[in-house]
Amino acid sequence: MTRRIVAGYIILTIVVLVVLMVPLGITNERGLEQDLLLRMERDAEVVASLVQDDVRQPTPAGQAQVARVAEGYSAETGARVAVTDSAGSVIADTDPPAPGDRTLRTRPEVRTALGGSVATGSRYSDTLGMQLLYVAVPVAAGGSVYGAVRITYPASEVSEGALKYWLLLAAVGVITLLAVALVGWLIARWVARPLGRLEQTAEDVGAGDLSARAPEDQGPPEVRALAHRFNAMVAQVDALVGAQEAFVADASHQLRTPLTAMRLRIENLGAAAGPAGDADARAAIAEVDRLSQMVDSLLALARAERGEAPAVRVDVSALVADRADAWTDLAAESGVRVVARVAPGLHARVPDGVIEQVVDNLIDNAVAAVAMSPGGGGTDADGTVTVGVAEADRVVEISVTDTGPGLDDAAKHQAFDRFWRAPTSEAGAGSGLGLPIVRRLVEGAGGTVRLEDSPGGRGLRAVVRLPAA
């Protein structure tokens, strides 16, 4: 943004400089030419007055005097001076192109002067091969024209002066551009810095940090107002999300007691109904258990989304090994074998209880996937869940690999959506909240989680990566 603002200032300044300086340079060049022609006309009239008598009554001595006047003026100014008689024949020429008698009668400016008028301007000289500035005035007395005085300068005299002025304008333009670039950079920093902080705050909020706020005391008033409105919006979103999380947590907590009481009443009714109502009672109890599991999952998800627990240094190796051991007997009831391959002494900084919840959810999903795969579980390699912990590049990696049916690529991404269940899962099995809870816990601890195909080509591998401590 800073570069774009500075570039905008520079482009605008260049346009203004061109609009102002180009006409100024052209006007100056024309002014130099006009000033020089006016001086030449004045000097030509002075020369004409000095040689008037000698031209009107030509004598050898008079011609010599005319030549001395012309040479004196030429030596003083550097101009070429030519004096002619009434026929256009040259009496004196300070810089003749060739020796011998010559006539300037064919020159348009001399013809004009011999006609009694003053001629000024510029033209290209074929004889000299250059552009000339010229002034020709008549040598007259008593209403009669006796000759002409022509003064010429190379047009380069004006071009050199104009070039110096153009260079001066260019230097002024460069200095102006540098000053504008510096001022534009300072203004751009003043505007862009708070906008950059506002952008960073927006990224933090988008990443889930609703406590982030943009500074409201920096930058121009418009940016401050934008930051104030943004902070107000984030505060409202934070309040709404907090209220939603509190509602889910409170509702989940309050539902646990009536569900427990309902289960007890159904058990009592089933016992009173005898064998005839036992099947219905067991089905009702199974539904109550599923509701209880879903309520517990919602409560765990609400707590995970709050993320209020501080991070502590935990022994990941020990915790994962303990959870794998705890699941061994429970998984065996479904014909699934749990194998632990844990590298010792690996630590990470996570909130207390996160590792246990993550591993329990992943093992639970893996055991269920293996148990409901074609042929069910078993004690051979086809009914195995492997739990591993390893470290690479200062990252602790927890993996849970099963030999179940696996998932396609689309399902791997959908698996982290709330209440999503695999198409192959049994009706009523699971709450669809296990992996969302895992992702929220892991990301809250600064880690990542993903699902990938099992290295053996069959099954699914869940990988959790956490920064090592």
Say if residue 286 is in the same domain as residue 314. no
Q: What is the pLDDT of residues 171-203, one digit of tens each?
A: 999 999 999 889 888 888 887 788 888 888 888
In this structure, of 192-196, 304-308, 454-458, the range with the lowest mean pLDDT score is: 304-308
- Say what the pLDDT of residue 312 is: 87
In which band, very low, low, confident or very high, does the pLDDT at 296 lie, cut at 50, 70 and 90?
low
- Say what the pLDDT of residue 379 is: 40
In which band, very low, low, confident or very high, does the pLDDT at 95 lie, cut at 50, 70 and 90?
confident
Instruction: Tell whether 326 is covered by a domain.
Output: yes
Say if residue 295 is in the same domain as residue 313. no
Residue 443 · residue 425 · CB < 8 Å: no
Which residues in 122-157 are b (16+ Cβ under 10 Å) and which e? Answer: eeeeeeeeeebbbbbbbbbeeeebbbbbbbbbbbee
Residue (of 128, 137, 131, 132) closest to 110 by Cα position: 137
Whole-number average pLDDT of the chain? 83
pLDDT above 90 covers a percentage of the chain that reads 29
Say if residue 153 is in the same domain as residue 229. no
Distance CA 378, CA 380 (A): 6
Which residues in 4-23 are b (16+ Cβ under 10 Å) and which e? Answer: ebbeebeeebeeebeeebee
Say if residue 323 is in the same domain as residue 224. no
Q: Which of these three, 306, 334, 358, is where a domain ends?
A: 306
Diameter over CA atoms, the chain? 161
CATH number at residue 246: 1.10.287.130
Say if residue 298 is in the same domain as residue 320. no
Distance CA 144, CA 158 (A): 34
Paired strand residues for 75: none
**Is the model more confident about 457 or about 104?**
104
Q: What is the pLDDT of residues 14-32, one digit of tens each?
A: 988 888 888 888 888 888 8
Instruction: Dig out the tokens for 443 from the structure.
Output: 């990301």
* Cβ neighbours around 247 below 10 Å, total: 11
In which band, very low, low, confident or very high, does the pLDDT at 252 lie, cut at 50, 70 and 90?
low
CATH number at residue 69: 3.30.450.20
Q: What is the mean pLDDT of residues 251-255?
A: 67
- Say what the pLDDT of residue 68 is: 92
In which band, very low, low, confident or very high, does the pLDDT at 309 lie, cut at 50, 70 and 90?
low
In the 3-class helix/strand/coil scheme, how is 380-427 assigned residue by residue? CHHHEEEEEEEEECCEEEEEEEECCCCCCHHHHHHCCCCCCCCCCCCC
Distance CA 324, CA 188 (A): 58
Q: Give the predicted TM-score (pTM) of the model.
A: 0.46
**Is the model more confident about 382 or about 87?**
87
Say if residue 315 is in the same domain as residue 298. no
Say if residue 329 is in the same domain as residue 289. no
Instruction: Tell whether 364 is covered by a domain.
Output: yes
Say if residue 244 is in the same domain as residue 354. no
What is the residue range of 219's domain?
208-306
- Say what the pLDDT of residue 139 is: 93
Say if residue 351 is in the same domain as residue 294. no
Instruction: Tell whether 410 is covered by a domain.
Output: yes
Say if residue 66 is in the same domain as residue 130. yes
* pLDDT reading at 239 higher than 90: no
What is the three-class DSSP state of 207?
coil
Distance CA 239, CA 232 (A): 11
- Number of domains forming the structure of the chain: 3
Q: What is the pLDDT of residues 347-374, one digit of tens each?
A: 999 888 889 889 988 998 899 888 877 6
- Say what the pLDDT of residue 199 is: 83
User: How many alpha carbons fall within 13 Å on the CB side of residue 85?
Assistant: 14
Outline where 57-214 has alpha helix (H).
60-77, 108-114, 156-206
- Say what the pLDDT of residue 188 is: 81
Q: Please give the helix or strand (H or E) that residue 269 lies within, else none.
A: helix 221-273
pLDDT above 70 covers a percentage of the chain that reads 87
Q: What is the pLDDT of residues 34-71, one digit of tens each?
A: 888 898 899 999 999 999 988 888 888 888 999 999 99
Residue 258 · residue 291 · CB < 8 Å: no
Instruction: Dig out the tokens for 444 from the structure.
Output: 């809250």
Distance CA 319, CA 391 (A): 15
Say if residue 230 is in the same domain as residue 96. no
